Amino acid sequence: MSNAFARRLQIDNPIFLAPMAGEAAKAPLVAAVSNAGGLGVLGAGYLSPEKLLATIAEIRSLTSRPFGVNLFVMEPGVRDPRGADEMARAMARYHAELGIEAPALPSHLEENYLQQIDAVLQAKVPVFSFTFGVPSASVIDALKGAGAFLMGTATTVDEAIDLEARGIDAVVAQGAEAGGHRGTYLSEDFNGAMIGIMALVPQVADAVHVPVVAAGGIADRRGVRAAFALGASAVSVGTAFLTTIESGVSDAYKLALTGPGSRKTGVTRVFSGRPARGVRNRFMEEMHEFESAAPMYPVTNALTRDMRRAAGQQGRAEFLSLWAGQAAPLSRNWSVAQLMEELREGLDPSVRASSPGAA
Ligand SMILES: Cc1cc2nc3c(=O)[nH]c(=O)nc-3n(C[C@H](O)[C@H](O)[C@H](O)COP(=O)(O)O)c2cc1C
């Protein structure tokens, strides 16, 4: 083992903040991880190009170290709203409970991915990562031309091979344990792509020559040690960072992650239209019949947006998408530096920088 991968990224330790779009996508958390010697990655999928540029500028004001930006690969096109009316009718009772207007599909479904890419190119980010697909060859060339190191998300060995073949610099092997959306893109068979990192990481490491980043269920030194034993060159940790002091997520979300309910997570389509893992809650349970009927992402995501926003303001966790991985109960309310130190303890001494922030 060596820390060649960390050196290539010009970071101290090969520990990444997993990109997390939504509430957690804020500059202070990203910068705190980079400042602690890891790689902070901004989940920018829901940010407008202007907000994306402003957040990158804020990250740069908080750290001089490398960081990453992550986007959902969603080529612009016509979205299929079938099923939205039926779902809106079923959701009306929740809007009434929250005291907000009846649900309706907004005209603004999502941010424009190609405009987001333009912002990333303009900002010349050191690392660019992505999920839900692979950017086109011309976008890949442009990003490389702008000096970005590219990382793509794979949930199967086939996806890892595909990413390497398209010239991606590192593969994030996202295990079934992972919180948030599944990155699966080569097949519609999301169930078939639910492979735990114990099985996925060694197979991906055998199948590709580029560095493999393990993501899913890693929350302490034991997980880090295991991931490296399986053939990973870095780890990407999401859920465990959500409860840190620097994380900008709501108290209701933090409580749900550290409470006993977080022992039960599930993969659902009812919040966004795309399978994602989160703490089981009332909306997931009661809307179960829409698991297959919910319109495809991003339609359902747009349809549930008002409900989720109001629930956040009112501290009603039963209506929030509480994205979390299967190791959520290991989360603690402590600082990024403390969590980074815990994770660093799992690195082999040949990989670990001598002291946090040593480079
Ligand atoms: C709240 C949340 C939001 C996420 N958003 C994104 C995202 O925008 N882009 C992405 O590639 N992965 C996203 N993920 C997946 C993570 O990058 C990563 O795969 C996952 O957090 C790893 O599992 P863990 O949460 O058990 O550590 C998200 C995960 C969570 C928990």
pLDDT of residue 1: 61
| Across 297-313, average pLDDT | 97
Instruction: Give the pLDDT confidence of 39-65 residue by residue, as tens digits.
Output: 999 999 999 999 999 999 999 999 999
CB of 278 within 6 A of ligand 1: the answer is: no
* Strand intervals (E) in 209-335: 212-215, 234-237, 265-268, 276-279
| Confidence label for 117 from pLDDT (cuts 50, 70 and 90) | very high
CB of 300 within 6 A of ligand 1: the answer is: no
Q: Which two tokens stand for residue 283?
A: 């909306």
Q: Rounded to an integer, what distance in angstroms lies between the CA atom of residue 90 and that of residue 274? A: 19
CB of 257 within 6 A of ligand 1: the answer is: no
So where are the chain's domains? 1-74+110-246+335-359, 80-109+251-327
Q: How far is CA 241 from the centre of its chain?
A: 11
Listing DSSP states for 247-263 in one string gives ----HHHHHHHHSGGGG
CB of 180 within 6 A of ligand 1: the answer is: yes
Contact 198, 230 (CB under 8 A): yes
CA-only gyration radius of the chain, Å: 19
pLDDT of residue 242: 98
**How wide is the angle at C-alpha 335 spanned by C-alphas 333 and 341, nearest 5°?**
115
| Across 304-316, average pLDDT | 96
Averaged confidence pLDDT in the chain: 96
CA of 29 to the centre of ligand 1 (A): 14
pLDDT of residue 80: 93
pLDDT of residue 357: 54
Q: Rounded to an integer, what distance in angstroms lies between the CA atom of residue 118 and that of residue 53? A: 10
135 vs 75, 121, 142, 190, 329, CA distance in Å?
A: 9, 13, 10, 20, 35
Q: Which two tokens stand for residue 116?
A: 């987001």
Residue listed under structure tokens 């939504």: 22
Residue type at 271?
A: F
| Confidence label for 196 from pLDDT (cuts 50, 70 and 90) | very high
Omega within 30 of 0 (cis) for the link into 298: yes
| Across 105-131, average pLDDT | 97
Question: CA 172, 254, 324, 98 torsion: positive or negative?
Answer: negative
Angle between helices 305-314 and 84-98 (to 10 degrees): 20
Which residue has the CA at smallest separation from atom 21 of ligand 1? Answer: 238
Q: Which atom of ligand 1 is nearest to the CA of 217?
A: 26
CA atoms in the 13 A half-sphere facing the CB of 329: 7
The side-by-side arrangement of strands in the sheet containing 234-237 is 15-17, 234-237, 212-215, 170-174, 149-154, 127-131, 67-72, 40-43
Q: Which atom of ligand 1 is nearest to the CA of 237?
A: 27
pLDDT above 60: residue 284: yes
Cβ neighbours around 235 below 10 Å, total: 28
Helix (H, G, I), strand (E, B) or coil at 307: helix
Which residue has the CA at smallest separation from atom 8 of ligand 1? Answer: 21
Instruction: Give the pLDDT confidence of 136-155 residue by residue, as tens digits.
Output: 999 999 999 999 999 999 99
pLDDT of residue 356: 55
Looking at domain 1-74+110-246+335-359, which CATH architecture does it have? Alpha-Beta Barrel (3.20)
Q: Which of 225, 230, 304 is nearest to 268 (CA)?
A: 304
pLDDT of residue 353: 83
| Across 262-269, average pLDDT | 98
Q: Rounded to an integer, what distance in angstroms lies between the CA atom of residue 242 and that of residue 262? A: 13
CA of 215 to the centre of ligand 1 (A): 8
pLDDT of residue 359: 45
Instruction: Give the pLDDT confidence of 202-256 residue by residue, as tens digits.
Output: 999 999 999 999 999 999 999 999 999 999 999 999 999 999 999 999 999 999 9
CA of 182 to the centre of ligand 1 (A): 8
Instruction: Give the pLDDT confidence of 81-102 residue by residue, as tens digits.
Output: 999 999 999 999 999 999 999 9
Omega within 30 of 0 (cis) for the link into 295: no
CA of 333 to the centre of ligand 1 (A): 19
pLDDT of residue 355: 57
Q: Which of 82, 48, 65, 89 is nearest to 9 (CA)?
A: 65
What are residue 127's DSSP bridge partners?
68, 149
CA of 309 to the centre of ligand 1 (A): 19
Q: Rounded to an integer, what distance in angstroms lies between the CA atom of residue 348 and that of residue 344? A: 9
Which residue has the CA at smallest separation from atom 30 of ligand 1? Answer: 180
Phi, psi of 2, rounded to the nearest 5 degrees: -145, 170
Q: Rounded to an integer, what distance in angstroms lies between the CA atom of residue 29 and that of residue 238? A: 11
Question: CA 161, 3, 124, 16 torsion: positive or negative?
Answer: positive
CB of 327 within 6 A of ligand 1: the answer is: yes
Residue listed under structure tokens 């899913």: 216
CA of 58 to the centre of ligand 1 (A): 22
Instruction: Tell me the CA end-to-end span of the chain in Å, nearest whole number.
Output: 19
